[in-house]
Structure 1
Amino acid sequence: MSFDKALARLAPQIVEFEPGHVWLAGAGPGNAGQLTLDVVSALAQADAVIYDALVDASILRAADGADLHFVGKRGGKASARQDDITALLIALAGRGKRVLRLKGGDPYVFGRGGEEALALAAAGIPFRILPGVTSAFGALASAGIPATMRGFNKAIILATGHAAGTPDDLDWAALAKTGQPIVVYMGLANLAKIAAALVRGGLAPATPAAIITAATTPEERVLVSTLGRITQEAANTGITSPGLIVIGEIVSMRAQLGQLANLVKSA
C-alpha cells in the first residue's frame, strides 16, 4: 500500500479544526518525520501558526497558506514575552481563526503549554492539546541511548537547568542520590554549575554524560564524555544551545550498541 493510500484510510479519524479554536501542539524534537498525524492535520487546516524557535523550518511547509507568527525565545537574546504570545493566541481566535500554537517537543514538557491552556480557558477560548514526541526521548533514541535499560535504571528524571545557581534552583544533590539517569533541558549555559552540584551530591566524576544538539536533524551532534570532563569538552568542541544534557549509565549503551551494529554490518 502506498503512503498516500495509508493516510487516506486514516483520514476519517482526523478531527476537524474549528474556527475560533486554538490547538497547542508538539512538533517533536526536530525532524518532520517525528510529527504525529494529528499535528500534520492541524498544520494543513490552520489559518495561523504561532511557532517557537525550536520548530524546524521544514515542518512549516505543511502549513501552506497559513499566516506564520514567529515567537521564539532564546536565552540571552531578544525574545517574545509570554504575555504577548498568550494575547496573540486569544486575539487571533477571537477573530475566528483556526490557531495552531506549535512548540518543539511536547507542549506539556517544559513548553509552557499548561500556562497557555489556563489562559485560554480563562478567556473562554476552546482549545485542544496535541502531544508530541518530547525532545528528551526523541534525542535519546536518535543518539542511540536507551531511555531505560534493565539493570541500569528503574526511572528517568527530566529536569530543567535554566535556574541553576539561583534561589529557584533544583536540589541537584537530591537528584544525584536517586542514582537514576537525568536528562536536563535548557541547561547548557549552566553546565558547569549543574555538573559540580551533581558531583557534590555524590555522583562520581566518571559517571557517563552526553550532550545532544539538533537531535533527529542532519545537524545533530552528540558529545559523549563523563560528568567530570563534559564542561571542558563542550567548550573545546564549541557545542552551543539548544541542547540536552544526559547524565547516567544509560549513556554507555551508545558505544555498546554502536559496536554491535558495526559487527552486524561487517558480518
Structure 2
Amino acid sequence: MLRFSGAGISDVGRVRPENEDSAFVGPYVAVVADGVGGAAAGEVASATATYAMAATALARFGDVPEVVLTAGAEAAQASVQRGVQTDLRRLGMATTLTAVVCDGDRVVLGHVGDSRAYLLRDGRATQVSRDHTYVQRLVDHGEIDAVSAAVHPWRNVVLRSVDGDPVHPAVDLVPLDVVPGDRLLLCSDGLTDLVPDEAIAGLLGGGEPEEAASALVDAALGAGGRDNVTCVVLDVVDGPRVVGDGQLLGAVREIANVVDPAAVRGR
C-alpha cells in the first residue's frame, strides 16, 4: 500500500514580519499554501485553504484522489469566500494551493498558483506542477525563454489562485506516476525564487525528509530569505496502512486564522 513518509518546515524568512505560508504533512495527504494580501489577511487565506484541503482528504480517505482534491479545493474556495464576506477588510486575500493525495494505490497532484511540486527519481528532480503566472504564460507563448522568466520583474504575478471571487477556475489535476523510493517536494516560492532547480535537486536528495527540508529552507535563508519559505519533503513508501493524521505548519497552526472550521468538517 502506497503512502507518504515525510516532514516539512515553514519559516518566516529574514524580511517578512509574519508567516503567510501554511502546510500540512500526513501519510496520505500533504498541502502547501502561500497566502497573499498582506493586510488583507494572506495568512487567513492560506490557513483556511490548507485546513479545508487536509480535512477533506482525511475525511474521505480511500476515495478517488481526483474527487478528493476537487472537493477539497471547492471547500477551500468556499471558506475563503466566507472569510471575505464576513470581514470586508479581507477583500483581496488569496492563496496558492498545492496538494498531493494518495488512496493507497495512486498519487494525484492538485495545484493552483505558483507554489510548486517536484518529483525526484534517481537524483533527477522534475517539476510536475505548472506555474499559473503571467511570466509562465509568456514562456508558453514563446515570447520569452526560461532564463528571462527567472529574472522577469513580473514573475510573481499570479493569474490563478484560491480567492474570494465566486467565479474561479478549478485546480489542475495531475496523476503522478510514482513508485516506492521516489521523493516529492511541495514548496512555496520563497524557495524557488531564490534557489535554482539544480541546487534544489541536489539538496532534495540528501538524507531523511526532515534533513532535506531543513537544507532547502537554509538555502533559501542563505540566499536572502526575502519571503516566507515552506518545504514539505515526502518519500513514497510501500507499507501497511497507518493512522491518517498529520502535522500542521505555518499560519494554519493558529486556529484563529482558519475561517469556520466546523463547516469544513461537515463535508
- Higher percent of residues as strand: 2
Give yes or no for TM over 0.5.
no
TM-score scaled by length of structure 2: 0.24
In terms of Rg, which structure is larger?
A: 1
TM-score scaled by length of structure 1: 0.24
Q: Which has the higher contact order (CA 8 A, sep 6+)?
A: 2
- Higher percent of residues as helix: 1
